[in-house]
Amino acid sequence: MSASRFGNRFVITTFGESHGAAMGVVIDGCPAGVFFDEKLLISELDKRKPGVSQITSGRKEADVYEVLSGVFEGITLGTPIAIIVRNRDTKSEDYNDLKSNFRAGHADDVWQNKFGIRDHRGGGRSSGRETISRVIAGSVAHMVLNDFGIKLNVSSFAKQIGPVNLNENESVFDNREVQELLLKAKEDGRSYGGIAEVIVENLPANLGQPVFHKLKADLASAYMGIGATIGVEFGEGFEATKEEGSKWHYEGQSGYGGIRGGISTGEKINVRVAFKPTSSVLDVARKGRHDPCIVPRALPVLEAMTYLVLVDHVLWSRTDRR
């Protein structure tokens, strides 16, 4: 397996399995002299931490990070940064039946068929636990952008959970209808999908390359690489297919979602990402510890992947012209 790397200038390699010793990431390409903001990193890790709500996985992990290299006295050295988070609350015995059985909708059978071997405990590397490495890397990318003086804002919210629609200022953890839906789903061993929206504000113009690394393409690739993602749309997305051209293309049109010709315009970027229902259902869901819906804990992962793409393109843009 040689596809655990992401990025071109700011390159990350993630490693670890759900019930292995630790999850981690190696970051190569981070400039020297960047302030390592521990508060920022802890805040982002806490956002995706399991076991903090009844509507998420019951697995309880402290998610305390350890910096192994690349940072000295709170400043990045310009050398590879290695950070790990040790796995503590593993109950591998819950997955003994899966040594020779495959769960419907999971990656179990395709991984076994492709590699001839797999770690059946908690999904191994195909588990959502892997995304903690991305959140760590995305936090460091955020630190770099802050150090460059680029004070952009990346935010996300759940737009839809199953049949329930939410607005931008509403948290899934505060919505009573969502709470009741997901608590009942967890009790019954059922699951739901949903839609998340990512918004990027104060982004500089001219980020993105015009052919094979369009900003839109790299963002879409980043989001589609998150487990359970089944669709991505920018701006008005598929609704634009219903419009007549003269009503769509005009000065000040914002339906592009902040990107034209693969390059950022400086306007707000908005993207919607669709997630399928969690694959663990019925008896499988009751035995293990699973999220009845991916979306609530996917939000910080979407933000992290956004920061990774943006810092990559900011570094790339410095070679666009003299």
- Give the C-alpha separation, 282 to 126, whole Å: 20
CB-facing half-sphere around the CA of 165: CA atoms within 13 A: 1
| pLDDT-wise least confident of 2-16, 66-80, 84-98 | 84-98
User: What's the Cα-to-Cα distance from 185 to each of 55, 168, 207, rounded to whole Å?
Assistant: 9, 24, 42
Per DSSP, the residues of 150-194 read ---EEEEEEEEETTEE--TT--TTT-HHHHHHHHHHHHHT--B-E
| Burial (0-12, 13-18, 19+ Cβ within 10 Å), 27 | buried
15 vs 59, residue with greater confidence: 15
Average pLDDT over residues 266-292: 79
Instruction: Tell me what pLDDT residue 285 has.
Output: 46
Q: Higher-confidence residue: 210 or 121?
A: 210
H or E element that contains 259 = strand 259-260
Instruction: Read off the pLDDT band of 198 (50, 70, 90).
Output: very high
Contact 264, 164 (CB under 8 A): no
| pLDDT tier, 52 (very low <50, low <70, confident <90, very high otherwise) | low
Q: 162-176, pLDDT tens digit by residue?
A: 999 998 888 888 899
- Other beta carbons within 10 Å of 195: 18
For residue 21, what is the DSSP state?
S
- Residue 308's identity, in one-letter code, is L
| 202 SS3 class | coil
Sign of the CA dihedral with 132 first, then 258, 203, and 296 last: negative
Q: What span, in angstroms and rounded, lies between the C-alpha atoms of 281 and 284?
A: 6
91 class by beta-carbon count within 10 Å (0-12 exposed, 13-18 middle, 19+ buried): middle
Question: Domains of the chain by range and CATH?
Answer: 5-317 (3.60.150.10)
Q: Express each pLDDT in 148-160 by its tens digit.
A: 999 899 999 999 9
> Which pair of tokens denotes residue 16?
């670890």
